[in-house]
Amino acid sequence: MSQQLANTSRPPTLTGLFLIFSRIGLTSFGGGLSGWLLREFVQDRDWISEEDFLNGLAISQALPGINVKNMAIWIGHRLLGWRGALLAVAGIIVPPAIFIIILGTVLGHLLQFPLAHILLAGAAAAATGLSLSMGVTTARRVQRRLMPLLFLAGTFVAVGILRLPLVWVVIGAGGLSVLFEYIKLRKA
């Protein structure tokens, strides 16, 4: 299966992909991982176009499970097939899981000191900033069409104002949006 990669001086390797995902997994706290993935694979390495990345992010968010795990699988497969998907997801999960076990043990002993609480608040603020950056990047690139904006507004009202259960809103709005796009593609 031939895959189109962006021009880059150093193409991705299996080991490199594992190490990149391990580094991202080990250095990212409390969210914001999609921002790191965007920077790493689109902006810095130019291995994936921004449009492809955002499409992959949308797919990853629509699938069940953890978004960053889904995104690792998507990026790994896009770049290096099933082996890339396997090593990418292993990189994002295994080294951070080992580190979390060790950190949890140490942190349990350090939480008695006020500085530990300050450091955790700083990490949470950084993760919030990365998530906001990803949201702004996505919002700037999305085409402004009536139906997607209506789905966006409807979802906001349903979850944010009416406090409807998220799972039912996702099933309902997701199903309707897929149906709408399917009908639109059939007509074209």
Each residue's pLDDT tens digit, 115-136: 888 988 898 898 888 888 887 8
- Looking at 28-66, list the stretches that DSSP marks H as alpha helix, in order from N- to C-terminal side: 33-37, 50-62
- Pull the structure tokens for residue 162: 């009416």
Size (the chain), residues = 188
Residues 49 and 34 sit within 8 Å (Cβ to Cβ): no
Residue type for 104, please?
Answer: G
Return the pLDDT at 30.
61
Q: What is the distance between the terminal CA atoms of the chain, rounded to a whole angstrom?
A: 28
Express each pLDDT in 133-177 by its tens digit.
887 887 787 778 888 888 888 998 998 899 999 889 989 988 898
Judged against a pLDDT cut of 60, whether residue 61 lies above it is answered with: yes
Average pLDDT value over all residues in the chain: 86
Half-sphere exposure of 78 (CA within 13 A, CB side): 21
pTM above 0.85, yes or no: no
* Alpha carbons 48 and 128: distance in angstroms, whole number: 24
For the record, the structure tokens of 40 come out as 């790493």
pLDDT at 31: 64
